[in-house]
Structure 1
Amino acid sequence: MKLDAFDAALVRELQQDGRVSYQRLAESLGVSREAARARVHRLLESGTVRVVGIVRPWVVGIGAVAHVSLDVEGPGRPAAEVAAARPASSFVSCTAGARAVVAELRVADEAALEREFAVLRSAPGVRGIEVFRCTRLVRDAYSPATDPAAAPEAAADVPAAPAAPAAPAVERPPAVDEVDRTLLGLLQADGRASFAALAERVGLSQPATRARVLRLLQSGAVHVTGLVDSRAVGVREAVGVGLTVRGGATAAAAAAARLPGINYVAAGYGRFDVVCGVDATDRPALLATLDSLRASAGVVRLESWYHLEIVKESYTYDLPV
């Protein structure tokens, strides 16, 4: 389904706040409440947009994130399937590049990362793995750009919505009890679930449920956003990029994040100093973005990989519903 100008405006509002009211949408876009409601329902029912709660990794104990490139002898798909079967993997892609498969892992700590590496090394045809360890997320296509807990995290380098506003800074993450975890699980499944429906599921009054949901949103524990089918916004090219830089990686990552076409940027160490995600409507636009990255101050080497098949893409966690 191709988005028209009105759809695109609705999508931008939903990306900023997936729980925005129909009345507010109507006022913002200058239409009736019924028209706004009908168009949002059409987008949701067609699958063009999904409104979901993106739960922050620190809420579920994620403290280590790594981007792993698999050097494979023979077909890459069997190794990709092994990676995709791991609960720790949030993104797996078969690529046209120096390495046949790339994956992102999200786990609790370094020991858990090493266990995942061992599994990937034993996957069919894998001759070895190369690791980029994310230490700072500069731009995330799905979640708020600042983690209240300052925990390292990342998102897959695939086309998606523009980065959302940063979450409010707090000294430490708020306590999350079992009722909160259930609410988070429900929001993962349906970010626009009504307070009445949520209250019925968790056994609290509607005002108490509303207060809890607002606290989770304001603390940054969850960000409710609209995820858009990339084809609906004209994205045809999806590429991952690794940069080697001279000097500080953070400055180079910040510069990359300001370029058009960049949907994800992380700084870290290992195989690369910076990893980026690029999306584009066509080859000339893709080339322009890659050339801009090559010309960025401090960049001494660029390596790219084309996503031929995304085998897994999931940013939900095992939470009660």
Structure 2
Amino acid sequence: MDQLTEQSFAILRHDGRTSFSDIARQLDTNRASIAKRINPLLQSGDIRIIAAVHPRLLGLHVLAHLSIQTEGDAGQLAERICQLNSPVFVSERTGKYQLISELHTTTMAELHDEIRAIRACEGVVDVQVLVYERTLKSFFLGEEPALADLPIDSTDLKLMELLQQDGRMGYAELAEAVDLSISGCRTRINRLTETGAMRIGLMRQRTDMTSHLTFGFGFITQGDLEPLVRLIDEQAGVEFMARTIGRFDFVSTISFPTLGEFNDFVAALRGLAGVTSLETWLHARIHKERYQHSLHRIREGAAVLADRAAVAAP
């Protein structure tokens, strides 16, 4: 993939609704050069532009990371785990634990039930659980926004649902679907993205992991976390950072174009005084990566909002 395509990807990852003309201006080229690179990839499904709604906005208050030790065919077991309700990420990995899964649930009780279901799967030997205390960065979303006072109504939820299917849907089409003016529709979408409740960006098809190496990092730390956070945040391929409760204090996911760059980064990490232990693993095959949430979660959110409105009514 040429440099112009990769640079276009970087812009669309930050804002998936950036026009081809704006991308061309930023990269000092013409619109046709951008369109001929991006349109075929959108049409083939190699890339998608989708909205990611912050999980806590949908009532998903418990986020967890599972390391799963298996026996037998790890790939078949991964596919079974993908069928459960709460996993948003499932991958085969290197090391003692053969699978990684990230779960988003409404309550600790729901998380408990999902873990029990995974433990009951044939081939599961052990499950180690980390609960995310605070997400600092994810593939689409930045640090967790303050959502408590953000007014969300059924129209906002409908816009989220539509943009999860096609993040580049035009304002006129969106406005017609939700019975708003174009300017009203644009205002609502800008409010959702500017507050961090929703992000619209590019997602690559990652079933083929030959073009880059995606590594997970688990840290046990002491003292100030700021130097570690700053070092990770400076990496071009950082996808995820979170403070956790469990066998690690902090986890991160970072992609590297070469093994040499990974080795250099690990050496820098080991030089930090606050890192007392570091474990790394390679995501060898990603089975599921869903940054947009199932549509039923949004519909449930709409029902919750309607119930709240009914209770609040005099």
With normalisation by structure 2, the TM-score equals 0.84
Q: CA deviation at 1:232?
A: 10
Paired position in structure 2 for 1:68: 66
What are the within-5 Å matches in structure 2 for residues 241-280 of structure 1?
Answer: 241-248=217-224, 252-259=228-235, 261-280=237-256
Q: Secondary structure at the match of 2:240?
A: strand
Structure-2 change in CA distance of 1:92 and 1:229 (3 Å): closer
Paired position in structure 2 for 1:130: 128
Cα distance in 1 for partners of 2:22, 2:173 equals 21
Select 1:205's aligned residue among 181, 186, 202.
181
Q: Secondary structure at the match of 1:217?
A: helix
Q: CA deviation at 1:236?
A: 2.7
Structure-2 change in CA distance of 1:142 and 1:234 (3 Å): farther
Cα distance in 1 for partners of 2:191, 2:7 equals 27
Select 1:301's aligned residue among 277, 285, 295.
277
CA distances 1:123-160 after superposition (whole Å, capped 9, x unpaired): 112232111111122232222x12223xxxxxxxxxxx
Q: CA deviation at 1:60?
A: 0.8
The letter of the residue matching 2:273 is A
Q: Which runs of 5+ in 1 are unaligned?
A: 150-170
Cα distance in 2 for partners of 1:217, 1:192 equals 14
Paired position in structure 2 for 1:105: 103
Q: Is the 8 A contact 1:249 1:274 kept in 2?
A: no
Q: CA deviation at 1:116?
A: 1.3
Cα distance in 2 for partners of 1:28, 1:12 equals 11
Q: Secondary structure at the match of 2:174?
A: helix
Cα distance in 1 for partners of 2:258, 2:212 equals 6
Q: CA deviation at 1:186?
A: 0.9
Q: Is the 8 A contact 1:260 1:289 kept in 2?
A: no
Paired position in structure 1 for 2:116: 118
Structure-2 change in CA distance of 1:27 and 1:297 (3 Å): same
Q: Is the 8 A contact 1:250 1:267 kept in 2?
A: no
What root-mean-square deviation, in Å, do the aligned CA atoms of Structure 1 and Structure 2 show?
2.6
Q: Is the 8 A contact 2:207 2:287 kept in 1?
A: no
Structure-2 change in CA distance of 1:40 and 1:310 (3 Å): closer
Select 1:174's aligned residue among 150, 160, 163.
150
Q: Is the 8 A contact 1:188 1:316 kept in 2?
A: yes
Q: CA deviation at 1:84?
A: 1.1
What are the within-5 Å matches in structure 2 for residues 1-321 of structure 1?
Answer: 2=1, 4-143=2-141, 145-149=142-146, 172-229=148-205, 235-248=211-224, 252-259=228-235, 261-319=237-295
CA distances 1:64-83 after superposition (whole Å, capped 9, x unpaired): 11101112233323432332
Q: Is the 8 A contact 2:207 2:286 kept in 1?
A: no
Cα distance in 2 for partners of 1:282, 1:35 equals 28
Paired position in structure 1 for 2:303: none
Q: CA deviation at 1:318?
A: 2.4
Structure-2 change in CA distance of 1:298 and 1:176 (3 Å): same
Q: Is the 8 A contact 1:59 1:221 kept in 2?
A: yes
Q: CA deviation at 1:196?
A: 1.0
Paired position in structure 2 for 1:159: none
Cα distance in 2 for partners of 1:127, 1:211 equals 50
Q: CA deviation at 1:314?
A: 0.9
Structure-2 change in CA distance of 1:98 and 1:232 (3 Å): closer
Q: Is the 8 A contact 1:98 1:305 kept in 2?
A: no
With normalisation by structure 1, the TM-score equals 0.82
Cα distance in 2 for partners of 1:28, 1:281 equals 24
Structure-2 change in CA distance of 1:78 and 1:44 (3 Å): closer
Paired position in structure 1 for 2:312: none
Cα distance in 2 for partners of 1:45, 1:281 equals 25
Paired position in structure 2 for 1:158: none
Structure-2 change in CA distance of 1:239 and 1:26 (3 Å): closer
CA distances 1:11-32 after superposition (whole Å, capped 9, x unpaired): 2221222112344334323344
Cα distance in 2 for partners of 1:66, 1:206 equals 39
Cα distance in 1 for partners of 2:160, 2:287 equals 25
Structure-2 change in CA distance of 1:104 and 1:230 (3 Å): closer
Q: CA deviation at 1:46?
A: 4.2
CA distances 1:104-135 after superposition (whole Å, capped 9, x unpaired): 01111222211111111111122321111111
Q: CA deviation at 1:316?
A: 1.5
